[in-house]
Amino acid sequence: MADQPPDPARRPPDRVALRRELTAEPGRLVCALLLALAATAAALALPLLVRNIITDFSDHRSLGFDVLMMCVTAFGGALVQAGAGFLLARIGERMTYRLRTRIMEHALRLPLAVVRARGTGDFTARITSDALLLREVVDVATQLPLAGLTVAATLAVMVWIDWVLTLVTALALTVLTGLVLLILGRMKSNVARQQDAVGRVAQRFTATLEALTTIKAYRAEPVAADALAGDAERLRAVAVQGGRLNALIPAVLALGNQFAMIAVILTGGARLAAGDLQVAAFAAFLLYLLQTVPSVSTLATGFGRLQGGLAARDRCNELLSVPPETDPHDAARTAPAPLPDAPSVVFRSVSYTHAGAGEAALEAVSFTTARTGLTAIVGPSGAGKTTTLALIDRFVRPSAGSITVLGHDARQWPLDALRGRIAYVDQAFTLLQATARENLQLGRTRRADDTELAVALDAVGLTEEIGRLPLGLDTPLGREVDLSGGQRQRMALARALLSDADIVLLDEPTSQQDGLNEQRFRAIVEELATTRAVIVVAHRLSTVQHAQHVIMMNRGRVVDAGDHLSLLSRCPPYRELVASQAVPAG
């Protein structure tokens, strides 16, 4: 096994394809486009109705029918435009929902090392600012073709009215388009840099809030604020460059429109004076020119927004292309049945090196743990104890050697099935932002009833504390109501008691000793160890000196293994560790 995720070539990434996303609801999209086309047709009809009204004025004819038609057209156009906008908004929000849920689900299935390397802020930026930029693509994807159609149709009618004025208009719009395209060429890279900077700010701010207790205790608010300000300054500098580009577009559009209007008025005035153009036709032409200006502006700004959406799409696809930790063959693989007489875990010459680290965290580690009973892994800080647990639960994969779990090579286990056989209690005794009841039942295939929950809570001495919560077991934890460190520890142990796992991994379980005395801890571990394999990474040796099996590690190697008394008699490093903690000899 190598410490690498599955080969991405074996599993195509679930990429964000804008065409697929936009056509996910074809019925609504077609309806929205038809309504938008009706609104465009109404807008094109209005200048012709104005021309008829001016002609009727000149010929002293009744205006009633033309005025009525103009009002009906204007009102109908506004109504269908509103309907099209609502449908597009609905399509856009549903697309954003699909994108966010896809990214969040994918993030949860990535290897731990990848998530920690990227940081929570980077993932947060993907489902916030990137998702919003992609949301705009829905509007742009319909606005651009409609705006292009409007400009083309308007120019066709303008040619019919007067081809000379249309030629002047087309020349002005061509120059204007060239200037706008020069600006848009630089916008996509700027948007990508802005999003990266947003991710860095979010990451540092999230990490700072998580460390707020320490920051306050050491009066480090100014230092933390300076670091945040540095990231914010880099974001500001990139955003100012983007703002400069965005500001140029309306300025160029306004200048181009003004020159077009001046050129049309001068040319039209000359043609009116020469008798080659009627006043009504010239008025209609000016209305069409004014109507073309917003459509051209929509095209220009729409391409700018599209650049932002494409940059966000590329960032989301880059994340979605990272392979998940699950092997692509797991779906077709049947979970093996644990062999009844096999050891719980066997390491055979296992080595592991953290990404970017020069020295191996584990080197040629071999050991065997019994099917039931307590195994303690001890050693000084940096010995590789926690890495050993991470390898058992396949949070990381060894660079050499093999690991056997319940009689089968770990590679033969589908990841979900493997972790279903293992209960893991980390150093922080992590609880989810969920109710106490939901936290206790994490990983169970069958929901525990209140009696089972009560027995587990009583075993860890949490019955009274949970009973005092506002809603008891149904109290949400993690925000307004939370548990102390010791209470969180006992909740995590109660969760292990309730689990269906064959193997229980405990990483530094006595670090919150104020909340759980050693006698109670021993009783819980002994109960777990009667029917399961309990593997404890222990810092305090006094809590595990009665383990049937103790593995002494140092510098990523197994120094010796045996029971407490045997190691005392033959293993000098173990004696030194015991002496440093004044642990009794027996």
**Residues 6+ away with beta carbon under 8 Å from 375:** 369, 533, 534, 535, 536, 547, 548, 549, 550, 551
Locate the domains of the chain by residue range.
11-320, 335-426+501-581
Overall pTM surpassing 0.85 (yes/no): no
User: 335-426+501-581: what fold?
Assistant: Rossmann fold (3.40.50)
- Cα pseudo-dihedral 71, 76, 81, 82, rounded to 10: 100
Task: Note the pLDDT of residue 235.
Answer: 85
Using the structure block, give the residue that is written with the tokens 């435009």.
81
- The stretch 244-254 carries a mean pLDDT of 73
Does residue 514 register a pLDDT over 60? no
- The stretch 272-279 carries a mean pLDDT of 78
How many Cα neighbours within 13 Å face the side chain of 349?
A: 3
Q: What are the structure tokens assigned to 140, written together?
A: 């742009």
Q: Indicate the average pLDDT of the chain.
A: 80
Burial of 197 from C-beta contacts in 10 A (0-12 / 13-18 / 19+): buried
Binning pLDDT at 50, 70 and 90, where does residue 6 land?
Answer: very low
Q: Domain 11-320 classified CATH 1.10.1740.10?
A: no
Distance, in Å, from the CA atom of 586 to the CA atom of 170, rounded to the nearest integer, reads 97
Binning pLDDT at 50, 70 and 90, where does residue 362 land?
Answer: very high
Binning pLDDT at 50, 70 and 90, where does residue 392 land?
Answer: very high
Task: Note the pLDDT of residue 351.
Answer: 93
Binning pLDDT at 50, 70 and 90, where does residue 17 land?
Answer: low
pLDDT tens readout for residues 203-221: 788 777 777 766 776 677 8
Strand order in the sheet with 503-507: 422-425, 503-507, 533-537, 373-378, 549-554, 557-562
